[in-house]
Amino acid sequence: MDFSLSSEEREVRDWVRTFVRKEIQPLEQEVLRRERAGQRGLPADELRALQLKAKESGFWGVQTPEEYGGMGLGAVMTALLEAELGRSFVPFRFGGAADNILFYANEEQKQRYLLPTIAGERKSCFAITEPGAGSDAKAIRTSARRDGDDWIVNGEKTFITGGNEADFTMVFAVTDADKHREGRVGESVTCFLVDRDQGWRSEHIDTMGEWGPAALVFEDVRVPQENVLGEVGRGFELAMKWIGRGRYMLPARALGACERLVEMAIEQANTRVTFGEPIANRQAIQWMLADSAVEIEALRWLVLHAAWVVDQGADSRHWQSIAKLYGGVKANEIVDRVLQIHGGMGYTRELPVERWYRELRLLRIYEGTDEIQRRTIARNLLKGHASVSGTLG
Ligand SMILES: Cc1cc2nc3c(=O)[nH]c(=O)nc-3n(C[C@H](O)[C@H](O)[C@H](O)COP(=O)(O)OP(=O)(O)OC[C@H]3O[C@@H](n4cnc5c(N)ncnc54)[C@H](O)[C@@H]3O)c2cc1C
């Protein structure tokens, strides 16, 4: 068994590590300052400039296939890279990416949606959640009815990331009410590519995080048949492909955040003196650091293992759910300990700990809550689809 990185993996990882240290981390104080003033931490033009800088070294479209100008990296490599990006809270991501399901577009749709998204000229958002349908995505009620060659979409989506900035959405609507009622969701839901100027509107939702998702409102929005992504009635499959595209990526980012947070806690423990001694001398503090180190190590291998299963082309859902659940729970425990070690300063907005505390909370909710991951894991075990012996058999 070999737990070491290949020379290529090390090279890519090291390049990103240096980029984060030299280009991203120096922005942190300014990002915090702007956010305290109620502004966007990293405005779109500054994000774009950083993305173009990374592109000069070939870092563009990390998972985008090479035929579309991307790097076409596999899951392990992507996980390594996400963990490095996670070492800063600055909301940076590499350019050249597009939602995985946009690659199912036909040639004409690719020209209108996929290629401009990769180029960074258009922004998409993925809209399935509704006020009455979150974990239970099959309960969606947004509808699309036929009218000649068009579809008329009505309904409301909620908590849509990027919904305020997007100029088109991939929206999921019921196109066969009878089948939907019978629970035949694999035949009743269709995905539509809908431009904002076709008539939907977004409403900002204020959250604990620094950026707000949006509610999307569709009132008699007319969408031509040529905007159906994939096949009529087969949209739910696409939605599951989007959600399942890389659950290992969220805990990978959290892994990087936890590493950085614990490094900050070590520094604080060694320098903060109370009752004549550094707090690092106290067992209460040492145990918090030790538990965090153990959990970070476990998280690293759960994330890399889940990514490795993806790269093997095997069914990875069980392993991704395990990594996502553990990452969400443990990252929240770790950031809480790190905040505690910083005392009152940890609670201020001068340090990034408080910001990370708020941001990491989301990990336990979106792209499948803790409870939904547990449901998936337990079902797989009870039905014999996975065993506690793991992939070693
Ligand atoms: C900031 C943010 C960004 C998001 N971005 C997007 C996006 O881009 N696109 C999109 O479509 N959606 C998005 N979502 C929606 C997100 O995926 C849902 O919020 C999430 O799936 C949970 O659904 P819900 O909020 O309706 O909670 P509910 O499903 O109502 O769940 C409420 C509670 O009940 C628990 N629960 C539910 N069912 C069960 C069960 N069977 N057994 C045990 N416990 C259960 C849940 O775990 C949770 O604790 C986003 C959400 C947030 C907060």
CB 207 near ligand 1, within 6 Å = yes
pLDDT given for residue 341 in this prediction: 98
CB of 169 within 6 A of ligand 1: the answer is no
Q: HSE on the CB side for 257, CA within 13 Å?
A: 31
CA of 213 to the centre of ligand 1 (A): 13
Q: How many residues does the chain have?
A: 393
Task: Count Cβ atoms below 10 Å from residue 49 Cβ, excluding itself.
Answer: 11
Report CA(107)–ligand 1 centroid distance (Å).
34
Question: Nearest C-alpha to atom 29 of ligand 1 is from which residue?
Answer: 135
Q: Stretch 230-257: mean pLDDT, rounded?
A: 95
The pLDDT of residue 244 is 85
Q: What is the pLDDT of residue 77?
A: 97
Question: For residue 369, how far is its CA from the centre of ligand 1 (angstroms)?
Answer: 6
Reduced to 3 states (helix: H, G, I; strand: E, B; else coil), residue 245 is coil
Q: Domain limits of the chain?
A: 7-99, 123-242, 245-392
Both tokens assigned to 299: 């998280």
| Mean pLDDT of all residues in 253-257 | 98
Does position 50 have pLDDT exceeding 90, yes or no? yes
Is the pLDDT reported for residue 206 higher than 90? yes
Torsion of CA 349, 355, 357, 361, to 10 degrees: 140
In contact, 178 and 218? CB cutoff 8 Å: no
Strands 150-160 and 143-147, sheet pairing: antiparallel
What residues does 174 pair with on adjacent strands? 143, 189
pLDDT digits (tens, 9 = 90+) for 338-382: 999 999 999 999 999 999 999 999 999 999 999 999 999 999 999
Measured CA to CA, the distance from residue 228 to residue 107 in angstroms comes to 13
166 ligand 1 Cβ < 6 A? no
Equal fold, 7-99 vs 245-392: no
Q: Residue 393 has what pLDDT? A: 81
The SS3 call for residue 173 is: strand
Pure H helices in the chain = 7-19, 28-36, 44-56, 75-85, 107-109, 115-119, 177-181, 185-188, 235-243, 249-271, 283-311, 317-341, 343-347, 353-361, 370-382
Q: Is ligand 1 within 6 A of the CB of residue 68? A: no
Q: Which CATH superfamily is domain 7-99 in?
A: Acyl-CoA dehydrogenase/oxidase, N-terminal domain (1.10.540.10)
Q: Which of 210, 246, 204 is nearest to 78 (CA)?
A: 246
**Rg, Å, the chain Cα set:** 22
For residue range 165-181, what is the model confidence (pLDDT) as tens digits? 999 999 999 999 999 99
Q: Integer distance in angstroms from the first to the last C-alpha of the chain?
A: 15
CB-count burial class (<10 Å; 0-12, 13-18, 19+) for 206: exposed
Contact present, 313 and 372 (Cβ < 8 Å): no
**Distance between CA 329 and CA 333 in Å, rounded?**
6
CB 54 within 8 A of CB 121: no
Q: Quick one: what percent of the chain has pLDDT higher than 90?
A: 97
CB of residue 127 inside a 6 A radius of ligand 1: yes
Looking from the CA of residue 372, the nearest atom of ligand 1 is 47
Vertex 23 angle, CA 96 and 91, to 5°: 55
Quick: pLDDT tens for 77-133: 999 999 999 999 999 999 999 999 999 999 999 999 999 999 999 999 999 999 999
**340, 291 contact by CB (below 8 A):** no
- Output the pLDDT for position 192: 98
Q: Determine whether the shortest distance from the Cβ of 240 to ligand 1 is under 6 A.
A: no
DSSP 175: S
| Residue keyed to tokens 């690092």 | 280
Task: Report how far residue 385's alpha carbon sits from residue 382's, in angstroms, rounded to the nearest whole number.
Answer: 8
Mutate to test the pocket of ligand 1, among 236, 366, 374, 377 (most ligand atoms within 8 A of CB): 366
Q: What is the CATH number of domain 123-242?
A: 2.40.110.10
Q: Which fold has domain 245-392?
A: Butyryl-CoA Dehydrogenase, subunit A; domain 3 (1.20.140)
Closest atom of ligand 1 relative to the 162 alpha carbon: 8
Backbone angles phi, psi at 84, to 5 degrees: -65, -45
Three-class secondary structure of residue 58 per DSSP:
coil
Cα-based distances in Å from 171 to 141, 201, 216, 236, 268: 12, 13, 10, 11, 47
**How far is residue 41's CA from residue 36's CA, in Å, rounded to a whole number?**
9
Q: For residue 124, list its beta bridge partners.
A: 168
Q: Which residues contact 75 (CB under 8 A, 6 or more apart)?
A: 246, 248, 306, 307, 308, 310, 311
Is 392 a residue whose pLDDT tops 90?
Answer: no
Q: What is the pLDDT of residue 246?
A: 83
